[in-house]
């Protein structure tokens, strides 16, 4: 079964209630050579950053991702209610033991804020509610990446069809290169003989010259390799999944063979075909850079 081919760009969102309050999670992804994950979250969630990154890496293979977690409630400036209660309880016990007046809200907020800033940053496992919210945001991201990936693959297939048409045109033109050269050579020889020599040069010399030229402009191997690379590109797209790096390598090979085809073909029509083929490969490279 074909696996989905994902684009590396996209965004996912989710919001809801978790063990640490009302949160909004946003995950944005852009192109990247490998996989890079950056997490930005409130200080109270610092201990979860490693677990958040691990959850992202479990579902995404390539791209530069930014995970932003923000409090969604209007009380975002206050510590969590659980932190406030714990601070108030600790202050009341300390006041009773020291026979001091009971703490007021200002004292509670001050201690709760210090506690939040002083939370250890060592990794902690994600609580179920926060983990579920992050999964929803990642699922939304993957849906967008899959939709973009389908569009990119469709564009790639169109460019591949155009390149194949150009390759066929080049293959049809290739045999005429030697025939045209032979006719031009014979014409020049006839003109030279008519002006300067009593007799034509030996036919063997003409045959040798044409044979040397034919060997120099023989592009059958390049055309065959181009066909093989095109077949492999289509096979990789058909398999789906993580195709970006493999396609980048194949397109480098397509461009290399196309350049060789152009350098071996001293013909205006072939040169125009090769330019169109190179333009097509450049479009393909731009499209493939978006794939995971």
pLDDT, tens digit (0-9, with 9 covering 90-100), for 115-154: 655 554 456 888 999 999 999 999 999 999 999 999 999 9
Is there a contact between 18 and 127 (Cβ–Cβ < 8 Å)?
A: yes
Give domain status of residue 220, yes or no.
yes
Is there a contact between 7 and 148 (Cβ–Cβ < 8 Å)?
A: yes
Percent helix, strand and coil across the chain, each to the nearest 5:
65, 15, 20
In a shared domain, residues 178 and 95 = no
Copy the structure tokens of residue 166.
């150009």
Copy the structure tokens of residue 151.
């569009």
**Coil, helix or strand for 2?**
coil
In a shared domain, residues 95 and 20 = no
pTM exceeding 0.75: no
| CA–CA distance, 216 with 263 (Å, rounded to integer) | 10
In a shared domain, residues 90 and 203 = no
In a shared domain, residues 233 and 282 = yes
Give domain status of residue 210, yes or no.
yes
Among 65-79, 99-113, 134-148, 208-222, top mean pLDDT goes to 134-148
pLDDT at position 201, please?
Answer: 57
In a shared domain, residues 71 and 192 = no
Task: Report how many domains make up the chain.
Answer: 3
**Coil, helix or strand for 129?**
helix
Give domain status of residue 2, yes or no.
no
| Res. 106 pLDDT band, cuts 50 70 90 | confident
The whole domain housing 103 covers 81-112
List, in order, residues 6 or more apart from 159 with CB less than 8 Å away.
280, 283, 284, 287
Give domain status of residue 18, yes or no.
yes
Give domain status of residue 1, yes or no.
no
**Coil, helix or strand for 259?**
helix
């Amino acid at each position: 079964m074909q696996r989905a081919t994902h684009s590396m760009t996209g965004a996912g969102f989710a919001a809801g209630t978790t063990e640490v309050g009302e949160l909004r999670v946003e995950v944005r992804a852009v192109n990247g050579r490998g996989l890079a994950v950056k997490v930005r979250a409130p200080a109270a969630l610092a201990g979860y950053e490693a677990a958040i990154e691990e959850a992202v890496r479990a579902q995404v293979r390539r791209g530069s991702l930014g995970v932003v977690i923000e409090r969604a409630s209007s009380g975002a400036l206050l510590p969590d209610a659980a932190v406030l209660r714990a601070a108030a309880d600790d202050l009341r016990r300390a006041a009773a033991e020291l026979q001091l007046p009971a703490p007021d809200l200002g004292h509670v907020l001050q201690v709760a804020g210090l506690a939040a800033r002083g939370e250890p940053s060592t990794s902690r496992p994600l609580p179920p509610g926060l983990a579920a919210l992050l999964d929803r945001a990642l699922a939304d991201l993957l849906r967008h990446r899959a939709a973009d990936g389908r569009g990119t693959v469709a564009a790639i297939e169109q460019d591949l069809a155009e390149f194949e048409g150009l390759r066929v045109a080049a293959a049809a033109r290739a045999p005429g290169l030697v025939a045209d050269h032979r006719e031009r050579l014979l014409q020049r020889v006839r003109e030279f003989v008519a002006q300067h020599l009593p007799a034509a040069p030996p036919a063997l010399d003409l045959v040798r010259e044409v044979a040397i030229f034919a060997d120099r402009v023989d592009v059958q191997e390049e055309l065959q390799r181009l066909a093989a690379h095109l077949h492999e590109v289509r096979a990789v797209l058909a398999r789906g999944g993580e195709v970006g790096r493999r396609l980048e390598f194949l397109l480098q090979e397509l461009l290399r063979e196309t350049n060789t085809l152009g350098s071996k073909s001293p013909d205006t029509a072939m040169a125009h075909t090769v330019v169109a083929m190179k333009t097509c490969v450049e479009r393909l490279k731009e499209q493939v850079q978006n794939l995971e």
